[in-house]
Chain A
Amino acid sequence: MSAQELGNEIYTLRVNGQSHPVQDAWIGESLLYVLRERLGLPGAKGACEQGECGSCTVVMDSQAVCSCLVMAAAAVDTEILTVEGLGENGSLTDIQQAFLAAGGVQCGFCTPGFIVAVHHLLDSNPEPSEDQIRESLSGNICRCTGYGRILEAVKIVISKRDAS
């Protein structure tokens, strides 16, 4: 798609396996803004606008990205996965279940970003060491839990997947 066509402010994003036309968008809008305010997908959260906190984490073509740093119009022709795209028919994934069982959720604002980041981590490295878990998730800030229960949740998932 050419820049001129983008100037028409109509483009299509592929999110969670579906095509979403984006209409009347301002060209500078971030992917985070478009997901939340135009596509009705508020799961990704905005908390820093600088890619420091990871609350807005989505997966774009198999890469975990901060959607606040991606211009929405530049995400055309990519496959985007948000927290809303996890779990079949409203069911919880094993990672979501583990967050609840381990107490990894308090205020919950960082949670969708963490859930997406953990899915991405375990998809790319099913058996991370504790140091690897900590490093992989160090781009996601949680202010409530001190990370202990989140670490526990990730360990639960790894051991359960191992057992099965």
Chain B
Amino acid sequence: MTTTHPTNTSTRAGTLGTNAYRPDGVAKVQGGFAFSSDMWSENMLWGATLRSPHPYAKIISIDDSAALAIDGVECVVTAQDVPGNPYYGLIMSDQPVFAAIGDTVRYCGEPIAAVAADHPETCKRALAAIKVVYEILTPVTNPQDCVSGIAPQIHPQGNVYRHQRIITGDQSIVGDVIVEGTYEIGMQDQAFLGLESALAIPDSGGEGLELYVATQWLHEDRKQIAACLNIPEDKIRLVLGGVGGAFGAREDISLQVHTCLLALKSGRPVRISYGREESFYGHVHRHPATIWMRHHADRNGKILKIESTMLFDGGAYCSTSPAVLINAITHTQGPYKCDTASVEGWAVRTNNPPCGAMRGFGVVQACFAHESQMEKLSVALGLSPVEIRLRNVMETGDRLITGQIMDSVAPVEQCIRETDAIAMPEPLLPNADIRQIPGGTGLTAQPGNIVRGVGWGVSMKNLMYSEGFDDYSTARCRMTDGVVSLKFATSEVGQGFTMLAQQIARTILGVNEVLLDTIDTQVGSAGSTSASRQTWMSGGAVKAACEKVLEDLFDHAALTFELSRDHVRIEETDIVDILSGRRIAVSEASKGVNLDRTEEYHHPPTEDLDENGQGNCHVAFAFVAHRAVVDVDVELGLVKVVQIATAQDVGRILNPISVQGQVEGGIAQGLGLAVMEEIIVKDGKVRNPSFTDYLLPTFLDAPLVEMVLIEEFEPKSPLGAKGVGEPPCISVTPAIANAIRNATGRELPRVPIRPYDICL
């Protein structure tokens, strides 16, 4: 890993810019860290969920009497036990807590009832004993039928989640060179390892409860839970259970309301923990999409016009489909200049599994299309993949197709040039270890059939929430007799925010020890751990709270030690009066002092798109380039990704190893989408809901990653840093696809690229 323009000067352990240690690290390597699935309570019952085996069916009757008769079964809850809003949802409240008698189930795996019992095995028997009579209906599984209108309406709120166009510039322009294609992106699963789990503990009075849950956004969960339970929000305390990864899949409600209902009905603590198969049914996935795109360029390769239609299958319930669609269409141009565009996007409802947030959030799909197009432009114009991109790179100050002016640092050219400068890997040797060739230890590849290919992908990704949403964050900083503690509701899902929060406090306040309070709803919302936003947003809130405490400390120190109030500052762990040169240790100055500040951070406001898709809808952007080198066995269609070279625009680097880990982890997920990961859905049913059949990249699949971090302070960001979580997984997918195209000469318009796409 190398970095450009390092901006950090402090080397004090644990401050910003250093490789601080994770506060949860020791517990995690020793196995003592409490994930939500490790939660346990005295007198606890186990809960489990009954799910529909049909993608679309009317419920005629539910008979739970045989289940209740089983020894050890405590209670059963169904739709009739939901005291409040029978529906929930992030954007549209359209998903039933349980499908009710007389209503329909709309996807295979939709919850119908939940049971609480003394043992997980008792739960399974109880679920098997509940008799549900269905009237099976013909599912709507082709999203195109919802656009054309021939599909029957499957929900009272209609079959279209959102239809939005972007139109700008002179539509009569015709390029010297025109390339087009129709691209498909399969349904990817977030596949976090820490399965959904929650423990609900009812109050002794039965008026409220505590819920320990692995989630991305405690306050949003609480809002939806309170509405469904018809309990005031202040009677519900949500505590973050240890989160084993998220990647978007924990942004929606899954088992939260069910667990609470069982706890309230039984009057006992209840834990629900999903298994892997249930997890595939229990959370939303990345939207499968079909994207048509046509690029017009002049003979020098300058992009003149882009036309596109995008169709996103949102599945049975809305989740974040409208926002995913907006991200996709507003990133049609990618990180390239473009004055003229005509884009039409649809996100629709079908009886397929519900889709919502996953790392990259709509931009992954758009990027696969625009980078596939750049490959075609490169071939059509006889320009190298690097040259065609360099001739179009976006810069700060450019006008986007939405009319918004790019006002983020935008080092797109530098991303490409730095990536291009990374050394290529060694050629595959004839006697290479079998673990390095396509097919690996399967011993299938013939060295003579292996062809090497190189491909490029470059992307732009918005940071934070968009379209007028004020996704603020809150943090509280206390300094009590020299001891600093921080409180926030920011979900730590593995990304390392708790570590960053400590780094911020150490740096600003000149202390070495920083305590972290419980992450729960006893402080204001932090917004969601998504959209690459927590370093910027919750980092901004922690910074603001610490700075307020520091001002208070300076007030106190100036009086107590007769320092010049206007000339004091922190240097390492001292307060220094730069006029007199006097130094007072922070530990000394803070003795007997009790300071307490809670601050919110809000990003600059954004606005909705108008009917022509015009508006300043995004807050900020980050950029990245990827170059993939692959070896392909063209006879058998096997692919080995040899190397990914990348240069990423990260703003100021706050923790180098953390950034490196985000980049490498994102690349592995993008590789998964490129060549192996897909939830296969047929007639509305998931065919591979297991880790045996849904393939994830292993250690042997992970490529060599060579990275350059482009470190340029982002003036709009509170800490100068950009979010780094999503960009790595976006353009690596088309880079790998382009490399396989380069090796095989095939169009390969779909990811994941399967062996038979290459060899048949």
Contacts and interface: CB of A to CB of B under 8 A. Distances in A.
Interface stretch (B150-158, B232-240, B611-619, B690-698): B690-698
Given A50-B690, A105-B25, A147 B657 contact: no
B580 interface: no
Interface string B477-500: 000000000000000011110000
B678 to A, nearest CB: 16
Interface of B: 19, 21-22, 24-35, 37-38, 119, 121, 191-195, 242-245, 247, 275-276, 433, 435-436, 441, 493-496, 657-658, 660-661, 664-669, 690-692, 696-700, 702, 705
A138 B700 CA distance: 6
Interface of A: 26, 28, 36, 41-50, 52-53, 55, 82-84, 86-87, 90, 92, 96, 99-100, 102-103, 105-112, 115, 131, 133-135, 137-151
A144 to B, nearest CB: 5
Nearest to B247: A143
User: Which 4 A-B pairs have CB atoms at the shortest separation, nearest pair first?
Assistant: A43-B31, A107-B494, A108-B28, A109-B244
A17 B469 CA distance: 56
Q: Which of B29, B30, B245 has the most CB of A within 10 A?
A: B29
Given A46-B37, A107-B245, A134-B435, A148 B702 contact: yes
Contact of B194 (A47, A87, A133): A47
B699 A100 contact: no
What is the predominant secondary structure among interface residues of chain A facing chain B? loop
B435 A106 contact: no
Contact of A92 (B29, B33, B194, B247): B29
A149 B657 CA distance: 8
A147 B28 contact: no
A145 B247 CA distance: 12
B657 A143 contact: no
Given A106-B494, A107-B194, A138-B699, A144 B29 contact: no
Contacts of A131: 433, 435-436
Contacts of B193: 45, 47, 53, 55, 107, 109-110, 141-143
Contacts of A145: 661, 664-665, 668
Nearest to A115: B29
19 contacts: A36-B38, A42-B31, A43-B30, A45-B37, A48-B691, A49-B275, A53-B691, A55-B193, A103-B657, A106-B661, A106-B665, A107-B194, A107-B243, A108-B33, A112-B31, A147-B668, A148-B661, A148-B705, A149-B661
Contacts of A107: 192-194, 243-245, 493-494
Contact of B495 (A43, A46, A102, A106): A106
Contact of B665 (A99, A138, A144): A144
A87 B27 CA distance: 13
Given A106-B665, A107-B493, A147-B668, 7 more contacts: A43-B32, A48-B276, A84-B30, A134-B700, A146-B668, A148-B661, A149-B664
Contacts of A90: 30
A84 B31 contact: yes
Contacts of B691: 47-48, 50, 52-53, 141
A75 B30 CA distance: 23
